[in-house]
Amino acid sequence: MLVLRALFLTLFVVYQANALAELEEVFAWKELTFDWPNEDAKNAAIKDGEYVPENNLPLGLDRWKNKLFVTVPRWKNGVAASLAYVPLDAPINKSATFIPYPDWKANTIPKGDTKPESDNHIISTFRVSVDPCDRLWVMDTGLADILGSPKQISPPAVVIYDLNTNTLLKRYTLKEHEDVKASSFFANIIVDVTKDNCDDAYAYLPDLGGYGVVVYSLKNNDSWRFKHNYFHFDPLNGDFNVGGVNFQWTDGVFGLALGPQDSTGFRTVYFHPLASLNEFSVSTSVLKNKTLADDPHIYNLFKLEGKKGDKTQTSASVFDEKSNSLILTQLNRDGVACWNPKKPLNSDNFALIAHDPEKLIFTNDIKIDDERNLWILSDKMPAFIYRKLNPQEVNYRILKVKVDDAIAGTPCVA
Ligand SMILES: *[C@@H]1O[C@H](CO)[C@@H](O)[C@H](O)[C@H]1NC(C)=O
Ligand SMILES: *[C@@H]1O[C@H](CO)[C@@H](O)[C@H](O)[C@H]1NC(C)=O
Ligand SMILES: *[C@@H]1O[C@H](CO)[C@@H](O)[C@H](O)[C@H]1NC(C)=O
């Protein structure tokens, strides 16, 4: 019995070792620095409390060519710029300085009670999305100092930039009552568009606090909101232990990932609430249809795919079409996992592909770029929110791995 057990444990360890991919640590920061116009501007910002280094936590990311976009939500006061990028030109500086995007002016909070002068501004953003038409989509919540003295500077809006010219294409403000509820919290944006039809783009905006999904159509300049029981959190799975911090969250629908197009041109959207172990799906033929948003008979158009397993709570997820794999952050397991929807979703087919009890503390966002690199941002956010980060340690990392290397040897490879 003991021998068998030892053998089993050995096999298990070997299997785990084979399954876990080696990640390249591309960036590692103790605290974030920004590309100020000059040293005087930086010192003035520190003096005025407009830049409090320890309050700047990177959270979301996406890549376009030699720019890696990183968001810095205004959780606390003193965020220098909420939208920035770090250059990917060689040689990469591992603790690179953040360059505000599109510029400093757009990232500057208006003084006192004044409103932003133009549509070209970003107050606070959690996640962004680069689309195949060289555009950057930003979900601007408009809310500053969330954990301190929250201030709604501008209403939640979808902001779109042309990446080739770095100019604003559009700012679409969500509808005050229809789209935005008192408890709304928009922390993610998923863009559904193909390169040959750039005008016909949709953005899906999960509302983790209001338990809904807002759909925005660029072509129709319109938005609508879906609600569904599956957008709610699971009260039995909102307990987290991450980086030595215990906390309870009620975050609902959070990650949406677009599966491959079917013969009708629509896609399966895989989605999950954050505080949940389940994965669900719905067709984009449903989400894109404004009429259905008000239809009370749509309950069965949303499906339960299955349960991922214990401690598998996920923030962001992405879909890799070539391998047909859904890739998901694993907040409660310091890692990243995958699942191939050709197989039923259960804990056997759900594989941990990256794990590191230090480097992957709170895998907040992931993205796949055009070269099929998987980018992972980890940022110790629970300690940032509930305790204090140690500025002598590396707190924020961005890591990279080829998708095929990440999923090799797992049930995700068909
Ligand atoms: C990397 O960037 C940091 C922050 O700007 C700077 O302090 C450091 O000198 C840079 N390192 C190199 C090797 O350029
Ligand atoms: C788009 O819709 C908003 C209202 O939601 C409106 O204020 C704006 O003028 C519209 N833009 C265009 C170009 O029609
Ligand atoms: C939206 O759904 C309704 C009800 O199923 C259907 O009648 C209508 O044709 C759909 N609209 C589009 C544009 O597909």
CA dihedral 309, 312, 318, 322 (to 10 degrees): -40
What is the C-alpha to C-alpha distance for residues 407 and 326, in angstroms, rounded to an integer?
10
Q: What is the pLDDT of residue 170?
A: 98
- Cα of 291 vs centre of ligand 3, distance in Å, is 7
Query: What CATH number is given for 234-414 in this structure?
Result: 2.120.10.30
**Closest ligand 3 atom to the C-alpha of 295?**
4
For ligand 3, whether the C-beta of 217 sits within 6 Å is: no
Nearest C-alpha neighbor of 313 from the set 276, 347, 339 = 276
For the chain, what are the domain ranges? Answer: 32-227, 234-414
The number of beta carbons lying within 10 Å of the beta carbon of residue 205 is 25
DSSP-assigned letter for residue 224:
E
Q: Between β-strands 396-402 and 24-29, what pairing exists: parallel, antiparallel or unpaired?
A: antiparallel
For the chain, the first-to-last Cα distance in angstroms comes to 34
- Taking CA atoms only, the protein residue closest to ligand 1 atom 2 is 96
Ligand 1 lining (C-beta closer than 6 Å):
33, 93, 95-97
- Cα of 173 vs centre of ligand 2, distance in Å, is 9
Nearest C-alpha neighbor of 287 from the set 307, 258, 248, 312 = 258
User: What does the radius of gyration of the chain's CA atoms come to, in whole angstroms?
Assistant: 21
Which DSSP helix (H) or strand (E) runs through 13? helix 2-19
**Closest ligand 3 atom to the C-alpha of 289?**
1
Q: What is the pLDDT of residue 414?
A: 72
Q: Check: CATH 2.120.10.30 for 32-227?
A: yes
User: Could you tell me if 376 and 364 are in contact, meaning their C-beta atoms sit under 8 angstroms apart?
Assistant: no
**Closest ligand 3 atom to the C-alpha of 285?**
14
Model confidence pLDDT, tens digit, residues 44-62 = 999 999 999 999 999 999 9
Nearest C-alpha neighbor of 16 from the set 328, 279, 337, 332 = 337
CB burial class (10 A; 0-12, 13-18, 19+) of residue 94? Answer: middle
24, β-bridge pairs: 400
| Tens-binned pLDDT, residue by residue, of the chain (414 aa) | 444 454 444 444 444 444 688 999 999 999 999 999 999 999 999 999 999 999 999 999 999 999 999 999 999 999 999 999 999 999 999 999 999 999 999 999 998 888 999 999 999 999 999 999 999 999 999 999 999 999 999 999 999 999 999 999 999 999 999 999 999 999 999 999 999 999 999 999 999 999 999 999 999 999 999 999 999 999 999 999 999 999 999 999 999 999 999 999 999 999 999 999 999 999 999 999 999 999 999 999 999 999 999 999 999 999 999 999 999 999 999 999 999 999 999 999 999 999 999 999 999 999 999 999 999 999 999 999 999 999 999 999 999 999 999 999 999 997
**Closest ligand 3 atom to the C-alpha of 290?**
1
For ligand 3, whether the C-beta of 392 sits within 6 Å is: no
* 188: helix, strand or coil: coil
- Cα of 141 vs centre of ligand 2, distance in Å, is 19
The number of beta carbons lying within 10 Å of the beta carbon of residue 250 is 16
CA 367 to chain centre: 8
Best mutation site among 266, 292, 297, 301 for ligand 3, i.e. most ligand atoms within 8 A of its Cβ? 292
What is the C-alpha to C-alpha distance for residues 28 and 182, in angstroms, rounded to an integer?
37
- Taking CA atoms only, the protein residue closest to ligand 1 atom 14 is 93
For residue 179, the ligand closest to its alpha carbon is 2
Q: What is the pLDDT of residue 19?
A: 61
Q: Between β-strands 267-273 and 125-130, what pairing exists: parallel, antiparallel or unpaired?
A: unpaired
Nearest C-alpha neighbor of 315 from the set 364, 242, 386, 259 = 364
For residue 286, the ligand closest to its alpha carbon is 3
The number of beta carbons lying within 10 Å of the beta carbon of residue 229 is 9
Nearest C-alpha neighbor of 241 from the set 339, 38, 382, 130 = 382
Best mutation site among 32, 36, 42, 93 for ligand 1, i.e. most ligand atoms within 8 A of its Cβ? 93
Q: What is the pLDDT of residue 2?
A: 46
- Taking CA atoms only, the protein residue closest to ligand 1 atom 10 is 93
Please tell me the pTM assigned to this model.
Answer: 0.95
- Cα of 216 vs centre of ligand 3, distance in Å, is 17
User: Could you tell me if 412 and 322 are in contact, meaning their C-beta atoms sit under 8 angstroms apart?
Assistant: no
Which tokens is 245 given? 């911090």
- Cα of 337 vs centre of ligand 3, distance in Å, is 36
**Closest ligand 1 atom to the C-alpha of 94?**
1
**Residue whose pair of structure tokens reads 């019995």 in the numeric block:** 1
Kindly give, in sequence order, each residue whose CB lies less than 8 Å from that of residue 408, ignoring residues fewer than 6 positions away: 21
Q: What is the pLDDT of residue 112?
A: 84
For ligand 3, whether the C-beta of 291 sits within 6 Å is: yes
